[in-house]
Structure 1
Amino acid sequence: MAKTKFLSAKDAAALIKDGDTVAISGNGAGMISAEEIFEAVEARFLETGHPRDLTLVHSLGLGDRDQLGTNRFAHEGMVKRIIAAHFTWSPKMQQLVREEKLEAYCFPGGVIQHLLREIGAGRPGLFTHSGVGTFVDPRQQGGKCNTRTTEDLVEHLTIDGKDILRYKPFKVDVAIVRGTFADTKGNISPEEEGIDMDVHSMALAAHNSGGLVLAQVRQVVESGALHSRHVRIPGIMVDVVVTASEQPQFYGRPYDLTVSGAKRAYLGEMTADIPAKLERRIIARRAALELEENASLNFGFGIPGGIFGVVAEQGTGEKLWMSLEQGIHNGRMLDDALFGAACNTDAIIPSIEQFDYYSGGGIDVTFLGMGEADAAGNVNVSHLGGNLIGPGGFIEIAQNAKKVVFCGTFDAAGAKLAFEAGQLSVLQPGKVRKFTQQVAAITFSGAFARQSGQEVLYITERAVFRLADSGLEIIELAPGIEPERDIYPYMDFKPALNVQRTMPEECFL
């Protein structure tokens, strides 16, 4: 007799109690996000005021920057504490953090996934180097993101002479996960989803904490109908299954089997999605020159996503091995809201296993975004403009890759440029400086990188910088750019000038 119950979303939501710690899975534009259950939980709270005082846990960002995903939980009183890695998709949650309406902890995405696995395994927390020297290090902020947040959830240790962080375990009362299919025994398969994410580690943490696992699926099938290799969560761990027959693969998009890996798309007539904005196009083309055949390559969200269009345009995808933190390997990578998925992948593995690979040093070259950088080579992508953005998987990736290529515009908010007659001209500088004396929060530590022997580049549309022993230095200038006129006046510090060449003409096509 199967232990799993098959309930409506409303009845499943009624099982969550005040004060529960709730772990939810998902990514970006609704990927593997249990939206029907989220909606039912929100509706219950708005109608009855319960469940309230929840602790919400998620590893990567999920939502639509409006109503969906974690926005469903962003009501005053509903959540008392959030432990998450990324907040961009939920401006309502960001507002609650700013207004001190809840406690907010921001940890690396891989750390949260691995910590849930450790909780599920009954071990005494997660011991890792991930986050050392960054804002999550307790010698800095300890991952605390407003003044209301006071409890220490991470501690610094020295083991075998090395700096280590211990992220403390906690009980998980409810995990809300999603798959494509469940069978009548409660086995869950995400076989037609774009990614697997961390659904198993979340279910493991809740089940072995004595909590509940609520799973949303598109369809229930007979016992034995699922291929055993497709089952990611065995039915013995699943308490409730909710059927959402209209469940989309992404928000508002039907299932595409070329994204789930079940089919292969014909891509010969697809056009390359090259960034339209001049500075983003320059950065994408210059960064693409750092691609290496037969190397392990990783890409972050934001401006680095423009590199996918260059790869498609040049037809070099088959010569590269590309991966994303969501568990994707190779294929035609999708960008913007759909970042994290791809057509025609070679492999889709659980995100937690991808982070194992990254944390252990499996990346040769990574291409990451750059919110702001300072004289010491530190980079901030997590705390920008007074808003909590979060690092997602940035910290594990940036700390452990052999080579880091940061991609970002030189400044922001209103910059205007032109490229004519082989020369780049700055018609109007941006209002926001991105090269500051000291970043607002350290998401990437220049000191840690120098100690680790990493090669680090900072690519902008005007110049390419490199991390040297003394800090940043300029190694390339765009044609037509004069440091004294176009660069130094718009930085809070003056980097060394060690120009080795002009940025190649092909970057400005």
Structure 2
Amino acid sequence: MMVGSKVVNVEEAVEKVPDKAVIAVSGFNLLIAPEYLLLKLYERYKETGHPKHIFLELNPIPTAPGKVLDQIATELYNDPDQEFLSGLLITYPGWSPALQKMIQENRIEGYTWSIGTASWFFREVSRGLPGVLTRVGLGTFLDPREDGGYLNDLAKEKRRCWIDVITIDGKEYLLYRAPKPNVAFIRGTTADEIGNLTTEKEGSFTEILTLAQAAKAEPEKGIVIAQVERIAKYPSLKPQDVKVPGPLIDYVVIAPPEYHKQSANIQYDPRISGEIIPPLDPKLVPKFELSTKKVIARRILLEMLEICKKLKRPILVNLGIGIPDKVAGIAIEEGVQDYVFTTVESGPFGGLALGGPDFGASIGPFAIISQPDQFANYEGGIIDAASLGFMQVDEKGNVNPSLLPGRLPGPGGFPVIAYGSPRMLFAGHFTAGKKDIRVENGKLNIVKDGNIKKFVKSVYKIVYNAALGLEKGQEVKYITERAVFRLTKDGLVLEEYAPELDIDRDILSKMEFEPKVSPKLKEMDERLFKEEPMGLRDEL
């Protein structure tokens, strides 16, 4: 090893991690995920018994189904005597069933926050502050008067991460607190010999700088290990390309390609890292057959274009995973992508967001910023609108996107986005369960409806608090394939229904509560239910 070089073999780096370490790990699914470091840390534990009793801080999760962390979790789950992992703070455990089961069975401590809150936590503790002060989570399952972010009884007992209610000028806030990390595992594309780190081939750089700063901050200055694809000579990297300066990094490890994929299903695509910006034409978008999902996504886009008309300018939006992430493709199909600028939680602006375990990456973004900065756009209401999925909606308008008994996917970015966006478009199918609902002949044909009601008297867990949204002046709609509702102080109001449906039979009887019906009730736009494009560009 040359004098002054921080480039070491991986075994030399991971042996520096002590027992009981609090390790902050970068990774939005596999984007910027240091898989090789996690793998080698676990292999060292299996060989030597150390480090043991580590605590992981993951935001949201540096894995995908069947990938390194999921594989490690599966081995740990099958080892009743494992001493490697004592607990974790995680914002989305959904990609690892084994991690979920370990939490549910009370074998490790489990805590959850929203992605944005966790992003800002690392920034705040790097400044020497006790945690994150925010109104996100008030009146939801994150509120300490409810579940408090605890995922199991062991977490409630240990209270390694906790949330307090703080009152300032008569207004309630939540203070999120957790241990300051003393180790950070981060990733980039290139490092020079003194550790300067760039991310030119990555689809995101999330919060790698703040993770390093948090680990290095007082009172306990920790260590930072970076995984890279390649090494450059010092000083050959462009200063403005450096995302983490070398003095903040202790060790640099070169990873094999199989542990340095751009995303779950993509080894490397220059369109994702912004090195090539392709024209966003309809040929780029996978064929989206006419279906109930397309009806909903089209209706979201219609609403967003109405906002454009109202504001008399293009708008900035967030599209969540699921049906909302199809909206960008429909905008391209309709030729209106220049009126709706999309963002993704991990940092991209524009382009075509990918879904599933590749979520977080976009094809052809025109900008990529840090994850904490992206969530400032959401929490501060800098964006104009957002669309997120729902699993349950209750009579007050509260929303539960994913939480059910026995299910532990975590909140992801939902709480911050839903709290901060000035206009919220919650989207999903009207019912759940096995169903046969077709879009044909310009209308909805309900051959067999789902037997699970999604509009319920009370949601299982509140993740979006409608009362707080109304207090903030949010404009909120709930969009389905057969009905559109608006949130008011008196609850939900039915404003639109699919052409030719029987409102009593197909809508009201499938709800556990009776919404108000608008005196201006109308049919949904018939173009939503037809094969051909809607001709939206001509309207603008």
TM range (shorter): over 0.9
- Which of residues 424, 428, 433 in structure 1 aligns to 2:453? 433
Deviations 1:245-284 (A, max 9, x none): 4232223523222221222224447243354472211111
Q: CA deviation at 1:93?
A: 1.0
Q: CA deviation at 1:195?
A: 0.7
Deviations 1:110-143 (A, max 9, x none): 1111111111111122211122222111121111
Give the aligned partner of residue 178 of structure 1: 187
Give the aligned partner of residue 240 of structure 1: 251
SS at 2:95 equivalent: coil
**In structure 2, distance between residues paired with 1:71 and 1:140:** 33
Structure 2 residue 125 is the aligned partner of structure 1 residue 116: no
Give the aligned partner of residue 527 of structure 2: 506
**In structure 2, distance between residues paired with 1:71 and 1:442:** 32
User: What is the percent sequence identity of the aligned residues?
Assistant: 34
1:320-335 matched pairs, under 5 angstroms: 320-335=340-355
Bigger drift between 386-395 and 443-452 goes to 386-395
Give the aligned partner of residue 137 of structure 2: 131
Instruction: Return 5+ residue gaps in structure 2 as ranges.
Output: 309-313, 531-540
1:65-80 matched pairs, under 5 angstroms: 65-69=65-69, 71-73=71-73, 75-76=76-77, 77=82, 78-80=84-86
**In structure 1, distance between residues paired with 2:266 and 2:288:** 23
State the AA in 1 paired with 2:246: G
**In structure 1, distance between residues paired with 2:458 and 2:5:** 53
Q: CA deviation at 1:14?
A: 2.5
**In structure 2, distance between residues paired with 1:200 and 1:141:** 31
State the AA in 2 paired with 1:507: L
SS at 2:155 equivalent: coil
Give the aligned partner of residue 477 of structure 1: 497
SS at 1:500 equivalent: strand
State the AA in 2 paired with 1:262: E
In structure 2, relative to structure 1, the CA distance for the partners of 1:93 and 1:276 (3 Å cut) is farther
Bigger drift between 254-263 and 455-464 goes to 254-263
In structure 2, relative to structure 1, the CA distance for the partners of 1:385 and 1:434 (3 Å cut) is farther
Q: CA deviation at 1:45?
A: 3.3
Q: CA deviation at 1:43?
A: 2.5
Contact kept in structure 1, 2:6 and 2:194, CA below 8 Å: no
1:8-47 matched pairs, under 5 angstroms: 8-28=9-29, 30-47=30-47
In structure 2, relative to structure 1, the CA distance for the partners of 1:402 and 1:413 (3 Å cut) is same
Give the aligned partner of residue 360 of structure 2: 340
Give the aligned partner of residue 174 of structure 2: 165
Contact kept in structure 1, 2:293 and 2:481, CA below 8 Å: yes
**In structure 1, distance between residues paired with 2:284 and 2:233:** 42
**In structure 2, distance between residues paired with 1:393 and 1:432:** 26
State the AA in 2 paired with 1:154: I
**In structure 2, distance between residues paired with 1:203 and 1:396:** 23
Contact kept in structure 2, 1:62 and 1:89, CA below 8 Å: no
**In structure 2, distance between residues paired with 1:4 and 1:160:** 52
State the AA in 2 paired with 1:326: S
State the AA in 1 paired with 2:292: E
Give the aligned partner of residue 153 of structure 1: 162
- Which of residues 80, 86, 98 in structure 1 aligns to 2:104? 98
SS at 2:331 equivalent: helix
Give the aligned partner of residue 61 of structure 2: 61
In structure 2, relative to structure 1, the CA distance for the partners of 1:486 and 1:52 (3 Å cut) is farther
**In structure 1, distance between residues paired with 2:441 and 2:276:** 46
Bigger drift between 342-351 and 62-71 goes to 62-71
**In structure 2, distance between residues paired with 1:379 and 1:218:** 42
Contact kept in structure 2, 1:413 and 1:432, CA below 8 Å: yes
Give the aligned partner of residue 371 of structure 1: 391
**In structure 2, distance between residues paired with 1:274 and 1:221:** 42
In structure 2, relative to structure 1, the CA distance for the partners of 1:416 and 1:356 (3 Å cut) is same
1:250-261 matched pairs, under 5 angstroms: 250-261=263-274
**In structure 1, distance between residues paired with 2:528 and 2:274:** 33
Q: Which runs of 4+ in 1 moved over 6 A?
A: none
**In structure 2, distance between residues paired with 1:23 and 1:43:** 18
Q: CA deviation at 1:468?
A: 1.5
In structure 2, relative to structure 1, the CA distance for the partners of 1:2 and 1:193 (3 Å cut) is farther
Q: CA deviation at 1:393?
A: 1.4
The alignment of Structure 1 onto Structure 2 pairs a total of residues equal to 508
In structure 2, relative to structure 1, the CA distance for the partners of 1:237 and 1:3 (3 Å cut) is farther
**In structure 2, distance between residues paired with 1:170 and 1:90:** 23
**In structure 2, distance between residues paired with 1:70 and 1:119:** 28
Q: CA deviation at 1:9?
A: 2.7
In structure 2, relative to structure 1, the CA distance for the partners of 1:3 and 1:359 (3 Å cut) is farther
The TM-score with structure 2 as length reference comes to 0.89
**In structure 2, distance between residues paired with 1:488 and 1:504:** 20
State the AA in 1 paired with 2:170: G
Bigger drift between 346-355 and 324-333 goes to 324-333
Contact kept in structure 1, 2:26 and 2:58, CA below 8 Å: yes
**In structure 2, distance between residues paired with 1:48 and 1:425:** 62
**In structure 2, distance between residues paired with 1:286 and 1:39:** 44
Contact kept in structure 1, 2:227 and 2:254, CA below 8 Å: yes
- Which of residues 382, 385, 392 in structure 2 aligns to 1:362? 382
**In structure 2, distance between residues paired with 1:355 and 1:160:** 25
State the AA in 2 paired with 1:227: K
SS at 1:398 equivalent: helix
**In structure 1, distance between residues paired with 2:196 and 2:143:** 39
RMSD: 2.0
Contact kept in structure 2, 1:274 and 1:306, CA below 8 Å: no
In structure 2, relative to structure 1, the CA distance for the partners of 1:43 and 1:275 (3 Å cut) is farther
Give the aligned partner of residue 217 of structure 1: 228
SS at 1:40 equivalent: helix
